[in-house]
Amino acid sequence: MYHMDLRDSYFPKQDGAPEQAATVGDMLRRQAVEIPDRPALRELTFDGAVARSWTYDELRADAMRLALALASRHAKGARIAVYANNIPEWVLLELAAGLAGVVLVTVNPAYQARELKFVLAQSQSEAIYYVTSFRGNPMKAIADEACDQLPAIKRRILLTDRDAMYEGADQGVLPDVSPHDPVQIQYTSGTTGFPKGALLHHHGLVQNGFDTMTRAGVKPGDIFIHHMPLFHTTGCAILVLGGLGLGATMLLAPVFDPEMITRVMEREHPRFILGVPTMIVALIDQVEKSSANITSVERMMSGGAMVAPELVRKAKDVFGAMIQIVYGQTESSPVITQTRSDDTIDDLTQTIGQPLPHVEASIRDPLTNEIVPIGEQGEICTRGYLVMTEYHDNPEATKAAIDGDGWLHTGDLGRMDARGYLTITGRVKEMIIRGGENLFPAEIENAMLEHEDIAEVAVVGVPDDKWGEQVACFMRATCDKPPEAASLKSFIRARLSPQKTPAFWIYVDEWPLTGSGKIQKFKLAEAFERNEFNVLQA
């Protein structure tokens, strides 16, 4: 923990491991020299068996050859899209693009033709690298449909076609690449609507992954299972670049399957696992059901959605490890703050930790942009190496997100205590205005998550003729007979003032999620207005 005694809600940049402005290629070459024979990447099949494997030197060699092939057909700075699930070729393409100075546009493998066409056109991609299908989604057919309408797409290459992938490697020449050059365009999750393309640079992704995994306690030589989607910064930055940057061994799973992942954990003895809360819940359930021996796990990390205090305690009981919570967004490469494994239980369950090394953070008045006093609510902002270059081809959105002093405005509301620990209190745009009073969903969600029968919560504002908006509380229960509305009302009234009490209580079996596991609240609100739920009232 950084020992701070702050007067205002501003956390200055602190030291950690040295800040080194490095490219993806710099990191890969360094590891291939220092630990050439250490296992770097091992491919898991759908049943959990190990298929192909690469040492650090073999990974460098394959990535270098693919980079030369890319350089033979794409100029430095060209945009190329990757549309695939978790396979080693995705990782190789990520590394090769970094070496070749090419900008990788990451695409959700669940996208349909309309969504894919938007990303390809908006990013100005000139090629797509894809797989034939995944989970019943006919991706080659979808890609062909989208690309037939986009003359700018000059190449369509299957990631599994080795000859096509490496064609031209003998003619390619690698350009000079700077740590501040763009390396990826990642499209924001779309929790509130239309996605924007965050243009991310080498320094941001490489340093952020390294610092996040370092605080997570990952050590050189550790084994970890990678089941997060590669198209998101958690998958391709924190786990791939961070894990490789630390010299760990990555077991790449093609999909998150809790039964398969549990079997692999029991066999391979990983020290570290990461997952969004829904994944952690599923793993806990599977471990308890199977009585698997997972005592090797010493560190856990989660984020991307509310992490219930009860889930943190349950993980400690089952895995013997505390969940470290990370907070950030795509635009910040992605992690801004992170708790530590030796933080107190209150800090682990009620805060999002202190900022990473080399990162500034502040809480600012959304109206005046002034830093607020300690303990007051405002917008969480960050500054430093981690901030994106811009939203691609969207200067208005960039100007709204990054102010003249370089502060990235996250859109999240929060507070900072004198130690520099942050707590999220809501979203600037998700604020519910009920009868002229501002209500913040995160406050209500945090209170509801204290209920032992409630696993996950999403609070949303819905239209109301009298009040303007009313509070709707969507929940996923932990038991077969969930509490009635009257009981829930009594529970929340004991913790919050009356105006914050939800008017509507809705149980759901599953959430509308983004590809990175975040709940799409706008879809809940839309479905509520269409009367698609069984609504309880007290």
Among residues 29, 58, 66, the alpha carbon closest in space to that of 169 is found at 66
Question: pTM (2 decimals)?
Answer: 0.84
Among the residue ranges 93-102, 301-310, 316-325, 411-420, the one predicted with the least confidence is 301-310
* DSSP-based three-state secondary structure for 381: strand
Q: Is the pLDDT of residue 195 over 90?
A: no
Q: What is the model's pLDDT at position 225? A: 97
Q: What percent of the chain has pLDDT over 90?
A: 81
109, two tokens:
């493998």
Q: What is the model's pLDDT at position 305? A: 60
Q: What is the model's pLDDT at position 296? A: 95
Distance (Å, whole) CA 226 – CA 229: 9
Contacts of 277 (CB under 8 A, 6+ apart): 302, 304, 305, 306, 307, 308, 311, 456, 517
Q: Is the pLDDT of residue 192 over 50?
A: no
User: In this structure, which amino acid lies at residue 123?
Assistant: S
Q: Is the pLDDT of residue 160 over 90?
A: yes
The β-bridge partners of 477 are 454
Q: Is the pLDDT of residue 190 over 80?
A: no
282, two tokens:
């599923």
CATH superfamily ID and name for 433-536: ANL, C-terminal domain (3.30.300.30)
User: In this structure, which amino acid lies at residue 537?
Assistant: Q
Among the residue ranges 41-55, 312-326, 486-500, the one predicted with the least confidence is 486-500
Give 478-495 pLDDT, tens digit per residue: 998 999 999 999 999 888
Q: Is the pLDDT of residue 248 over 60?
A: yes
Asked if omega into 229 is within 30° of 0 (cis), the reply is: no
**21-251 has which CATH code?**
3.40.50.12780
Where are the domains positioned within the chain? 21-251, 433-536
Q: Is the pLDDT of residue 432 over 90?
A: no
Give 418-427 pLDDT, tens digit per residue: 999 999 887 7
Report the chain's mean pLDDT, rounded to a whole number: 93
Give 87-137 pLDDT, tens digit per residue: 999 999 999 999 999 999 999 898 889 889 999 999 999 999 999 999 899
Give 44-103 pLDDT, tens digit per residue: 999 999 999 999 999 999 999 999 999 999 999 999 999 999 999 999 999 999 999 999
Contacts of 356 (CB under 8 A, 6+ apart): 16, 208, 211, 212, 215, 335, 336, 337, 338, 386
Give the Cα-Cα-Cα angle 3, 386, 273 (nearest 5 degrees).
75
